[in-house]
Amino acid sequence: MRAVVQRVSSASVSVSGEMRGAISTGLLVFVGVEKGDGPEDLEYMASKITGLRVFEDREGRMNLDVKEAGGALLVVSQFTLLGDCRKGRRPSFDRAEETQKAREMYGTLVEKLGESVRVETGEFQAHMEVESTNDGPVTLMLDSRKGF
């Protein structure tokens, strides 16, 4: 499972012009499910996302997680995070999980994240428009298989 995590001062996602999810301070999280991902990958990703200390404390140090900072999560499914661009010019998505299993894994991740912090989402497998104001900017990449 892969994720790109951005600290934001605001973020929203719309489908066909209709707002589906929005947050102010928090993390915008793009998530891609890889073939073979299982419960360990879900646990790792949920723990990492909610535990990242990327918000500033009173001394200006990145020392607070999203909950301690009073923030929320906007979690958006994005299979293109599994795109392999090493050969040619067209990305290969062979590593992305099949749709139904990816939908279930994404849903379970959202549920786990929601146990500790407010979570907004987009719409799985829809064409979405995401707007965000990256704060910092702070952008991090996570991989449950620790490939990077």
Is 80 marked active-site? yes
Q: What is the pLDDT of residue 147?
A: 85
Low-confidence ranges of the chain (pLDDT < 50): none
> Phi/psi at 124 (nearest 5 deg)?
-55, 135
Q: Pick the catalytic residue: 80, 99, 133, 139?
A: 80
Q: What's the CATH class of domain 2-143?
A: alpha beta
pLDDT of residue 67: 98
Per-residue pLDDT reduced to its tens digit, 112-126: 999 999 999 999 999
Residue of 6, 30, 79, 121 marked active site = 79
Indicate the pTM of the whole model.
0.96
- Catalytically annotated residue among 6, 30, 50, 78: 78
Active-site residue, 100 included = no
What is the reported pLDDT for 90?
96
Amino acid at 26: G
